[in-house]
Amino acid sequence: MIKPHGSEVLNPLLVEDAQLHQQLLAEAEALPSLLLNSAAAANAVMLGAGYFNPLSGYMNLADALSVSETLHTAEGLFWPVPVLNLVEDVTAIAGASRIALRDPNTEGNPVMAIMDVAAIESVSDEQVQSMAQQIFATVDPEHPGVATFTNLGRNVVSGDIQVLSLSYFQADFPDTFRTAVEIRNEIAERGWNKVVAFQTRNPMHRAHEELCHMAMERLGADGIVVHMLLGKLKKGDIPASVRDDCIRKMVELYFPENSVMVTGYGFDMLYAGPREAVLHAVFRQNMGCTHLIVGRDHAGVGDYYGAFDAQTIFADKVPAGSLDIEIFNADHTAYSKKLDRVVMMNEAEGHTKEDFILLSGTKVRQMLGDGIAPPPEFSRPEVAQILMDFYQLENA
């Protein structure tokens, strides 16, 4: 199986030993507490689940600045996006060497992790703006990722952590949320060697479905892991539970048995386009995938990125040998009325735009909200029905 990023074996930070877990929870009650923001809590989940291997905790300011500028930590580890615990008010933990980190997304704010505080550093507005520009390629406050990142706080609390909880994801998505360790184990149990990862924060329509089929066929893959984001999104995005239902119905009806794993991970969407695509590659390697599909506008939002910037970053800015996972570059896929099937548009000779069935996201949402199913060439009717039920409930 493909090796994890940066180490020979996966190093999840979740404390699995029951006795140690109880000892740490008891210790946490006597420690100074820090209520995390959602972004820092998501980082803790990814660290605990092994997705952010080989990191042992939150980055310090030097590493964050270095990663933003060079895609490497100060010591030279390839990493595309800072993994930070940015804090507004550090009064409660001033001078503490060991603290309890509490979950902002679960009622009662239970302890998520215990942290050995290496440093508490002030970060300037200029440094935050510089990192935002490098991560998101913009400092426009209307960009949802920039808006979040620049308002998290001006204190960097760094250090190693021991994770005691993976927040609400296991309880809310018991059939879908999986750690990187669990996905690696299941890949091994299935006997898969060449494994493709498909990233999604949306329901999967025909174009996505066919893209997965194409990637599997062209790569000679044993299976595909549909890996959906389960954390926080921007307003207007489809809730994770609805996406989950749509994807499971599509896989059940339109994929061969034992060819797809439907899974999810606990992270908040960054909308960082190319940088987030590279982060996706890092943690898909950690979970055991050999290939990642990167398509049009991967992890993008609005018009902040070129349609294929998330592909070119791997050629232009990711040094050779930095990652073992390989990228399957995909063009925009759509149903060809001429060929009567879904194709990659750049491979369809003699076509004009009118030869494809193309619907904007806005148009599709409007149709679904009005109880009108998109054409079957665009969306499987069983998937469309789930989405119509959701939108009509929302609009009731």
Q: Which residues are catalytic?
A: 201-202
The helix (run of H) or strand (run of E) holding residue 294 is strand 291-294
Structure tokens at 238: 């489809």
Alpha helical stretches, state H, the chain: 18-28, 38-48, 61-70, 125-136, 144-149, 169-172, 180-190, 206-219, 240-254, 274-286, 309-316, 361-369, 381-395
**Residue whose C-alpha is closest to residue 351's, from 340, 336, 341:** 336
The C-alpha atoms of residue 300 and residue 326 are separated, in whole angstroms, by: 20
Helix (H, G, I), strand (E, B) or coil at 309: helix
Q: What is the DSSP letter of 374?
A: P
| Positive or negative: CA dihedral 81, 84, 89, 95 | negative
Helix (H, G, I), strand (E, B) or coil at 198: strand
**Axis crossing angle, helix 381-395 with helix 240-254, rounded to the nearest 10:** 160
The C-alpha atoms of residue 203 and residue 395 are separated, in whole angstroms, by: 19
Length of the chain in terms of residues written: 396
**Axis crossing angle, helix 381-395 with helix 361-369, rounded to the nearest 10:** 70
